[in-house]
Amino acid sequence: MRCYVIGDIHGCLDELRYLIEGLPLEVGDRLVFLGDYIDRGPNSNGVVSYLLDLKKYGLALDLVFLKGNHEDMLLSYLGLPGGYGDMFFYNGGKETLASYGLISSHLTAQDALAAIPPAHLEFYQGLIDYYIMGDILCVHAGIDPLKTLEEQTATEVLWIRDQFIYNPHSLLYTVLFGHTPHKEVYFHMPYKVGLDTGLVYGNKLSCLETEEKILYQISRGKKKVHRVPIADKWNADTFPARP
């Protein structure tokens, strides 16, 4: 069984589909998505529909869907448990609502609730905050480097940036995260790997296969998936000794 961890998608259905079709998937493989499926890009509705359809992919895949801050904003906007709903519309939410056929400038949360399919609402509400597999921790934005995993708040795992990115942390995991776009995959080993490579801004969608340490990437507007070995960058056994 292999595990593939996929960075931020932001409504870019075509590239997501070509990436998945380009992976050497086998029965039992796991796909972990780091969140931010929606907003900014052209087809958030289509992205969620495609992810739901992966359950009918024809292979017995293990699918893990993490929550991003954009899904959390959407839920809050809809009046459901979440945060910063007042920021949703102005952070790409307008494009998400348009993908559900809502284009009026006088929309209400009730309009959106009526337009979003129940299966999509169930998907958004079922997203998880983090996922652990062996010595790897998958999370959307990152962690507070001074706290234990149990002490992390929803705001931290969904929104944190520089405090996490530019500092080592005290957990004995390599953290795979999205949220903050970089031109190339961001390595700060053995502490973290950033897999948001700015697809929606015209760059790339990135996916890391965690066993052989292979990076799969597709550029915005392209169909070809590029395969790049990165084992030389992976030094997961070099954590400093803990006191």
- Tens of pLDDT, residue by residue over 221-238, are 999 999 999 999 886 555
**pLDDT of 107:** 81
The DSSP bridge partners found for residue 187 are 193
- pLDDT of 60 reads 84
What local confidence, expressed as pLDDT, does residue 123 receive?
A: 97
d(CA 158, CA 169): 17
> Taking the C-alpha atoms of 147, 138, 67 and 121 in order, what is their torsion angle to the nearest 10 degrees?
-140
Single pTM value for the model: 0.95
Phi–psi pair at 64, nearest 5 degrees = -125, 120
Third-level CATH fold of 3-137+201-233 = Purple Acid Phosphatase; chain A, domain 2 (3.60.21)
Question: What are the tens digits of pLDDT across the range 58-96?
Answer: 668 999 999 999 999 999 999 999 999 999 999 999 999
- Range 192-220 average pLDDT: 97
